[in-house]
Amino acid sequence: MKDEEITLAVKKHYAGVARNEKSCCLSCGCGQNPEDLGRMLGYSDEELANVPEANLGLGCGNPLALGSMTMGETVLDLGSGAGFDCFLAARKVGPSGRVIGVDMTDEMVEKARANALKNGFKNVEFRKGYIHQLPVDDSSVDVIISNCVINLAPDKLAVFRDAHRVLKPGGRMFISDIVLLAELTREQRNDPDLVAGCVGGALLRDEYLAIVKKAGFRAETMHEDRAIGEAQYGGLPVMSLKLALRKP
């Protein structure tokens, strides 16, 4: 698929999720209660009780568990969806901190803004934009989080390079994402449902890590979770990769 076809397939799918026309990704936990899926991905019951309507069951891990955040920091969420991880981050950085969510889907941005207003989050804002062209100033962010979204971007090197641009020196990036353990067939790569379902556009593990390094990041911790990959995408050669990165 061409880049513009990938973007269109992803937008169409997640607009449907936001409108409650689709329950989740093609393979990631379909049929599971979002709360049960959240527990499997590493969220605590306390976290899951925080704005539960924002939990759409779309992740492949808990990126906030990969590192700490402190009061007053600025956090950016790449592909923020309905805002679930943003609202958790807002609790950690407090009223003196700031959280920015970026999503390319109008319906998701609207849903997230409604959730923020309903639940009184004054330190969280949502912006429409692409994660490879972030509507965020240079060197303005302390922490970036992303949950099962970078695999959806056609140009992943551009995503990491732009993340590097907006992070302050010494800034951190906490990611849960899907990577491949073996190459897909051409038919799988061009299947719109697999692309939108976090598989068709995923990279091989070593290729993903090479791009992270090329973009200028240093990996501080890495966890490979094959159990989550098997539970969510049984029969496909994928796993959840969890990274804590730092901008030197």
Task: Assign 233 a pLDDT band (cuts: 50, 70, 90).
Answer: confident
d(CA 176, CA 126): 20
Are the CB atoms for 145 and 121 separated by under 8 Å? no
Q: Is the pLDDT of residue 69 over 70?
A: yes
Please tell me the predicted confidence (pLDDT) of residue 32.
65
Please tell me the predicted confidence (pLDDT) of residue 236.
94
* Cα–chain center distance at 78: 6
d(CA 55, CA 155): 27
Are the CB atoms for 60 and 28 separated by under 8 Å? yes
Q: Is the pLDDT of residue 241 over 80?
A: yes
Q: Is the pLDDT of residue 231 over 90?
A: no
pTM of the model: 0.95
Q: Dump pLDDT digits (tens) for 75-134.
A: 999 999 999 999 999 999 999 999 999 999 999 999 999 999 999 999 999 999 999 999
Task: Assign 26 a pLDDT band (cuts: 50, 70, 90).
Answer: very low
CATH topology for 3-246?
Answer: Rossmann fold (3.40.50)
**Residue 50: closest CA among 17, 92, 79, 105:** 92
Can you say whether residue 83 is alpha, beta or left, with left for phi > 0 and alpha for psi between -120 and 50 degrees?
left
Q: Is the pLDDT of residue 6 over 50?
A: yes
All structural domains of the chain with their residue ranges: 3-246
Please tell me the predicted confidence (pLDDT) of residue 22.
54
Q: Quick one: angle between helices 106-118 and 84-93, nearest 10?
A: 40
CB-side exposure of 94: number of CA atoms within 13 Å? 6
What is the longest distance spanned by two Cα atoms in the chain?
49
Q: Per DSSP, which regions of 35-120 are E strands? A: 74-78, 98-103
Cβ atoms within 10 A of the Cβ of 35, count? 14
d(CA 18, CA 22): 8
Mean pLDDT of all residues in 31-36: 78
Task: Assign 235 a pLDDT band (cuts: 50, 70, 90).
Answer: confident
Q: Is the pLDDT of residue 25 over 70?
A: no
Length of the chain: 248
Please tell me the predicted confidence (pLDDT) of residue 232.
84
Mean pLDDT of all residues in 34-60: 94
Match 């924002």 to its residue by tokens: 54
